[in-house]
Amino acid sequence: MDRAPHGISHDALLSRDRDGAVIRLFLKVVVTDLIQIKRLGEKKQVENERFRRYLKRHNFPELRFRRIAEDIENQTDCRACANCCKVAETDVTERDIERLARYLGISTRDFVEQYTTTSAFEENEVILRRRESGCIFLEGNDCTIYDARPTTCRDFPHLMRGAGSFESRMWQMIDRATYCPIVYNSLEEFKDIVKFQK
């Protein structure tokens, strides 16, 4: 049996025919190596921006994209990667703050003072504090508040879950494709199924 290169897994996409029998559609490669994701995602930023605009001009059934993203998400161990926790800001809502304060057994005021700050990118946006290694609650690749984590973390990478329509969330995916294996691989698969000219 051939072994996949480091950071790449092989898998077959399965579907059902009219009679319900499972059929193999094709062999796909899922890139998981974070160095490759960064390099390829950066290389394809202009292409991904073109693709985002292409999606806005066409009406594709979101269910097709959902199935692909869910399949790739199921193949990816987010807690082994944790790259989003290392590179992205985590915005927190009032509800998140209340839930996290309760989880940690402190007042919301103490939580805000000890664990939040203002975003460097969005004025008046409250985010979790960061350390050099990433989110303040990240230890290694483990989230110490995983059971009470903010909504944005629960919904990440926001391909199929999150505020707004699928198309409205696509503007974020261009950047996320440079650090999230789920986003990078999903965008590449999305381009293939709609026959986007790369």
**In this predicted model, what pLDDT tens digit does every residue of 124-169 receive, in sequence order?**
899 999 999 999 999 999 999 999 999 999 999 988 777 777 777 7
Q: What per-residue confidence (pLDDT) applies to 134?
A: 96
Amino acid letter for position 96: D
Q: Which two tokens stand for residue 68?
A: 């692909």
pLDDT, greater one: 159 or 183:
183
Helix (H, G, I), strand (E, B) or coil at 140: coil
In three-state secondary structure terms, 27 is: strand
**Residue 151 DSSP one-character state:** H
Q: In the numeric block, which tokens belong to residue 102?
A: 């309760």
| Residue 16 pLDDT level (bands cut at 50, 70, 90) | low
Mean pLDDT of 90-113: 97
